[in-house]
Each structure stands twice: as C-alpha cells, then as structure tokens.
Amino acid sequence: MIQKEIGWNTRAMAMRGPRDGIEPSTASCVLREFAECPECGRGIDPDVTDGLYEDRDVIWTNNRGRKSAAHTCENCGTELRMFVEEKAFGRIGPSQLPENAEDWEEVIFIPIEDSANYLVVNTNQFWVTPERPQPDSSKEQTTA
C-alpha cells in the first residue's frame, strides 16, 4: 500500500540510522502509527526510553536489569511486550518500488518529501503481545 498522508517528517525519518539496525525512536514511531493493542484494538504510544536495543532490533519487555519495561495500554491497562525487527523499517529508491505496491497490504510505502525515494514499513516484522508474568525469583520453590 502506498500511504501519502502520515504525521512524520519523512525526510528526517529517511536520514535516521547512524548505527546498524533500527533505533528505539524509529521503532516507537512505527508502532505508534501502525500497531494496536491486541486486547482492545486501540493505538499504542510506547515510551522510547523503555525500548531496549538488542541484536539490531528493539524490544519493550519487563526487564529491570536491562532497563526495559513493557508498555501499558492506556485504554485497557494490559501490559504489552513489543518487538520490532530491524527489517520493519527501511528506505528504497523508485526503481525498487513494486509495480503492484498499491495492492500490498502488509508492506506500506511512504513517499519521502522532496525525494523520489520511499520509506518502507513491513508490518510482518513487528509484534505486540500481552506481556507474560515473569516468575518471581525471590520466592523459594517448594515441591510436594
């Protein structure tokens, strides 16, 4: 699908990427625009500072030791674990745009302002799921 109306500064988004992989700020923008809470269907707005950059990807999960936290849905209160692969966001030139780009449902092509190039968001490359409770390691496990 080609999406021409988006609330991003597409030129600034196209210039991101001083490191390999996707940055938490970019991953947050992708989730804010294209993801929703799997429990209630509302849009989400993850805190960039809670995103953990790991192996070129970004994850939001309850891991205090790694300084990451799950996102809490503002509508239903569900804690959400979010994962954005580096392949979820990229740039392509006009020659790489598929002829049938309008028919693609899972991949969004966004024209970059003042450019012939496109931003690409692949919605198959990010996940939003309810956070699973982590076992409490401070309690002793007993067996009967």
Give the percent of the chain with pLDDT over 90: 54
Q: Are 36 and 2 in contact (CB under 8 A)?
A: no
118, amino acid identity: Y
What's the distance, Cα to Cα, between the start and end of the chain in Å? 57
What CA–CA distance (Å, rounded) separates 54 from 52? Answer: 6
Dihedral sign, Cα of residue 126, residue 128, residue 129, residue 131: positive
Cα separation of 112 and 78, whole Å? 35
pLDDT tens for 11-53 read: 777 776 545 788 888 999 999 999 999 999 999 999 888 888 8
pTM greater than 0.85 = no
The pLDDT score that the predictor gives to residue 144 is 45
**Mapping DSSP to helix (H, G, I), strand (E, B) and coil, where does residue 90 land?**
strand
Taking phi first (over 0 means left), then psi (-120 to 50 degrees means alpha), and beta for anything else, what does residue 108 get?
A: beta
Mean pLDDT in the chain?
85
Q: Would the CA dihedral through 126, 131, 135, 136 be positive or negative?
A: positive
**Which two three-digit tokens encode residue 10?**
């597409």
- The Cα 26–Cα 103 span in angstroms is 25
State how far the alpha carbon of 112 is from the alpha carbons of 43, 77, 118, in Å: 24, 35, 5
